[in-house]
Amino acid sequence: MSEPTRRSVLKTSVFLACCGISHVRLARARAGPVEALPVKEITGGIFAFAGRPEMMTAKNEGEICNVSFIVGDEAVAVIDSGGSVAEGRELVAAIRARTGKPIRYLINTHMHPDHIFGNAAFGETGAIVVGHHNLPRALTARGDYYLQSYREAMGSELMADIRIIPPTKLITGEEQLDLGKRKLTLKAWKPAHTDNDLTIFDEQTGTLFTGDLCFIEHLPTMDGSLLGWIAQLEELKGIKAKFAVPGHGPVPSAWPEALEQEQRYFDALARDIRKAIADGVPMAEAVKTAAESERDNWRLFDEYNVRNATAAFAELEWE
């Protein structure tokens, strides 16, 4: 891909503005066919791409979480669409490079932008968007804010195509989807990472897609309920999977060992915050040192730990 110079972009912008054509569209046309996301086949018919443990930026096109697809006899299911429509299109290209079968489902594991900003890339595939029964409500509360607040980090060009597309098939409790001789079990969890976490289990290969209920390397982020997350770790561990595709971290990962890192972090965070609350330390002070012992075990600790501590403090105060 050749980068247009700043001057040529400015010139074409002026020219195209006169013609009423967006320069974004031209830039894409010039880039030629969409490159396929470099997915790898981790086991029979399951392909995954491991995102980078970074913040979403224009440079990484929001490709920070793990995205996957599963090919059945009749159809394909996609798990998360990525952090931009650009990534979503690359994912569609990766699917098309492997199979011509229809993409029947696009499953969103939860509300966060790195997992759903690519949804618009699947508009033409006819895929049914599937999510937790709380996901539409969560996107209603946050969608506009996400579109506003990511503009700075992602740039207006990447953001231009992004739409908040809520699921139309909603999961309550457990439900199965069939891809043709391949059954996926979807489970809607109680509030943990968010209040709309969904996991997907492929019976044929024993692969568990945890969404962000499992973080490895990338510090977990707290946007639901710390207590709910800790409480459900036992149930999560009980799933008889051979291995896991976590929301962030190596693909695939050993199961249930994949949960050990985050469990240790949650324990440290809850312990430190509970002590601060008991001692009467104000929130603003307590969050500065909570879970400090975990600093060297994670990427993005400085970006997310204070925020996690803040959310944990507000929750644990009610114990």
Is 96 or 190 the residue whose CB approaches other proteins more closely?
Answer: 190
224 Cβ contact list (under 8 Å, min separation 6): 191, 192, 193, 194, 195, 197
| Residue 319, burial from CB neighbour count under 10 angstroms (0-12, 13-18, 19+) | exposed
Does 214 participate in binding other proteins (rule CB under 8 A)?
A: no
CB of residue 114 to other proteins, shortest distance in Å: 7
List phi, psi (to 5°) of 200.
-130, 130
Of 195, 202, 272, 294, the one binding other proteins by CB under 8 A: 195
Structure tokens at 206: 């024993």
Integer Cα distance of 135 and 108 in angstroms? 9
Does 194 participate in binding other proteins (rule CB under 8 A)?
A: yes
Of 191, 211, 246, 247, the one binding other proteins by CB under 8 A: 191
Does 311 participate in binding other proteins (rule CB under 8 A)?
A: yes
Alpha helices (H) along the chain:
6-19, 23-31, 85-98, 113-116, 135-149, 151-154, 156-159, 226-237, 260-278, 283-289, 301-316
CB of residue 145 to other proteins, shortest distance in Å: 5
Does 282 participate in binding other proteins (rule CB under 8 A)?
A: yes
Total of chain residues touching other proteins, rule CB under 8 A:
48
CB of residue 300 to other proteins, shortest distance in Å: 8
Does 84 participate in binding other proteins (rule CB under 8 A)?
A: no
In contact, 26 and 15? CB cutoff 8 Å:
no
Kindly write out the interface string for residues 117-156 of this chain, putting x where it contacts other proteins by CB under 8 A and - elsewhere: -----------------x-xxxxxxxxxxx-xx-xxx---
Amino acid at 175: E
Give the number of other Cβ atoms within 10 Å of residue 148's Cβ. Answer: 10
Integer Cα distance of 77 and 71 in angstroms? 7
**Residue 119, Cα to own-chain centre: how many angstroms?**
11
Integer Cα distance of 166 and 140 in angstroms? 9
Of 23, 89, 104, 112, the one binding other proteins by CB under 8 A: 112
Does 58 participate in binding other proteins (rule CB under 8 A)?
A: no
CB of residue 59 to other proteins, shortest distance in Å: 15
Residue list 224-253, contact with other proteins (CB under 8 A): 224-225, 228
Of 189, 215, 298, 304, the one binding other proteins by CB under 8 A: 304
Of 66, 68, 109, 221, the one binding other proteins by CB under 8 A: 221
Integer Cα distance of 147 and 28 in angstroms? 21
CB of residue 105 to other proteins, shortest distance in Å: 19
Stretch that binds other proteins, among 16-24, 203-211, 217-225, 289-297 (CB under 8 A): 217-225
Does 164 participate in binding other proteins (rule CB under 8 A)?
A: yes
Structure tokens at 59: 């440079």
> Binding residues for other proteins, per CB under 8 A?
55-56, 112-114, 134, 136-146, 148-149, 151-153, 164, 166, 191, 194-195, 221-225, 228, 280, 282-284, 287, 303-304, 306-307, 310-311, 314-315, 317-318
